[in-house]
Chain A
Amino acid sequence: MNISFENQSVEPSPVLADPFNIHNETGYQSWRAAKLAGFPATLDECITRIKDLADPSESEAQGIAACCRRANMALYHCEAGFNDERALRGALIAFASAFGLSTPERHRSAGDDGVVALQVSDAPAQRGFIPYTDRPLNWHTDGYYNDPRQPIRSFILHCVRPARSGGENMLLDPGIAYIRLRDENPAFIAALTHPQAMTVPEHVEEQGGVRQASTGPVFSIDPASGALQMRYTARARNIVWRDDRTTRAAVDFLNRALAAGDPLIFRHRLEPGQGLICNNVLHNRTRFADPEGDEAGRLILRLRYRERIAGTTH
């Protein structure tokens, strides 16, 4: 189904056109007030039940897009079963396309269909990478190590099987992180929008592959939509922050705010058939434990896209 989100676009008035310009206090305050007023109190407000994952109805899709406009994320729940993982992967790709997501990231762990299976793995290309272990994942946005010209703008996490215990996600809209930082000190925003704010050094893998160093801002504006986007990791090692007092203070403030638990951070443990669709929100993952013996462990399917979710930009 082709779903039109055209009627959901919001034309900002000229004076409010760029609330992310730190010199535009009026525009920022207006955007901030609207953001906080519309922000869901709980993630329960953002769950949409879907009958057919491969072909969401217009009302289902509009419900998801509405949540994403408010919080840059939504949950869906589809109880329909699938004969095999291949059919589920196909349904997820069709689901994504209903939201204008059609350019998947070419990830080395993705299958031909662009879907990555997140599960405990000892495969050579995944060994040592935390997403493929049962260890906790620190706060980050997906693809923070990418070239800033090739950002991940959205992703879907779909739960096939939860862990025996643990594996909960905490989620935070980057817009809320921006508000906390700017309210604390607008200079923090100036520091984190600097094009050389954060560098992920070159990474040489065991197999000899090389991921180039990437340098870029934490906060930037998506040129196509004017939306705020974020590139961030709370990891302390293998990250080089711009050697500047304000940058260090901004990162320290954000890390402390995330660790302390902002009231607008959501916590959720995906159940089978549930998924998260989002405009690359900040997230982490708690440690988890898989069943012992031959029973299959936690399996999450991940799809990442270059596009933002259609109809979700204010």
Chain B
Amino acid sequence: MANLSDLIIQHPEVTNFDELEKLVIKVAQEGEIFLQFDVKPDYRDTPRDWYTRLESSFYWGQEK
């Protein structure tokens, strides 16, 4: 199981929420089965519904 916090640390090139969403999709496509959203990502463009959006991105990536 991966943690979102680890994902953020491992990918310092990600500097905004849109890029993080793409990374979450990529991680799911690469075979990660669970992703724990253990922290709220802190970017200038982090939306209020960040959890729902990242969760949707992750499941969408798994299904692609």
A244 engages B9 (CB within 8 Å): no
B10 engages A194 (CB within 8 Å): no
- Within 8 Å CB of B5, what residues of A? 193-195, 217
Chain B minimum-CB-distance residue to A148: B9
Interface bits B1-12 vs A (CB < 8 Å: 1, else 0): 000011011101
| Cβ of B39 under 8 Å from chain A | yes
A194 engages B42 (CB within 8 Å): yes
A196 engages B42 (CB within 8 Å): yes
Chain B minimum-CB-distance residue to A212: B12
List residues of A (218-253) whose CB comes within 8 Å of B's CBs. Answer: 220, 242-244
| Cβ of A60 under 8 Å from chain B | no
Kindly state the separation between the CA atoms of A242 and B44 in the bound complex, as whole angstroms.
Answer: 11
- Within 8 Å CB of B10, what residues of A? 149
Q: How far is the CB of B6 from chain A (nearest CB, A)?
A: 8
Name the one of A148, A195, A214 contacting B39, with C-beta atoms under 8 angstroms: A195
Q: A194-B5, A195-B5 are known contacts. Are A215 and B39 too (CB-CB below 8 A)? A: no
Kindly state the separation between the CA atoms of A195 and B36 in the bound complex, as whole angstroms.
Answer: 14
Kindly state the separation between the CA atoms of A148 and B9 in the bound complex, as whole angstroms.
Answer: 7
Interface size for B (C-beta < 8 A) is 9
| Cβ of A147 under 8 Å from chain B | yes
Kindly state the separation between the CA atoms of A195 and B42 in the bound complex, as whole angstroms.
Answer: 9
Kindly state the separation between the CA atoms of A147 and B8 in the bound complex, as whole angstroms.
Answer: 12
| Cβ of A216 under 8 Å from chain B | yes
Interface size for A (C-beta < 8 A) is 15
B39 engages A147 (CB within 8 Å): no
List residues of A (189-214) whose CB comes within 8 Å of B's CBs. Answer: 193-196, 214
Q: How far is the CB of A211 from chain B (nearest CB, A)?
A: 13
Kindly state the separation between the CA atoms of A260 and B23 in the bound complex, as whole angstroms.
Answer: 43
Chain B minimum-CB-distance residue to A247: B42
List residues of A (125-162) whose CB comes within 8 Å of B's CBs. Answer: 147-149
Name the one of B9, B39, B41, B42 contacting A216, with C-beta atoms under 8 angstroms: B9
A149 engages B42 (CB within 8 Å): no
Q: How far is the CB of B18 from chain A (nearest CB, A)?
A: 16
Kindly state the separation between the CA atoms of A194 and B42 in the bound complex, as whole angstroms.
Answer: 9
Kindly state the separation between the CA atoms of A196 and B9 in the bound complex, as whole angstroms.
Answer: 8
- Within 8 Å CB of A149, what residues of B? 9-10, 12
Kindly state the separation between the CA atoms of A174 and B5 in the bound complex, as whole angstroms.
Answer: 21
- Within 8 Å CB of B41, what residues of A? 196
Q: How far is the CB of A252 from chain B (nearest CB, A)?
A: 19
- Within 8 Å CB of B6, what residues of A? 195
Chain B minimum-CB-distance residue to A190: B39
Name the one of A195, A243, A244 contacting B8, with C-beta atoms under 8 angstroms: A195
List residues of B (1-53) whose CB comes within 8 Å of A's CBs. Answer: 5-6, 8-10, 12, 39, 41-42
The residue among A194, A216, A217, A220 with the most chain B CB atoms within 10 A of its own CB is A194
- Within 8 Å CB of B9, what residues of A? 148-149, 195, 216-217, 220
B12 engages A147 (CB within 8 Å): yes
Question: Which residues of A approach B to under 8 Å, CB–CB?
Answer: 147-149, 193-196, 214-217, 220, 242-244
Can you list 14 contacts pairing A with B, beta carbon distance less than 8 Å? A147-B12, A148-B9, A148-B12, A149-B12, A193-B5, A194-B5, A194-B39, A196-B8, A196-B42, A214-B12, A216-B9, A217-B5, A220-B9, A243-B42
3 nearest CB pairs, A to B: A195-B8, A195-B5, A196-B42
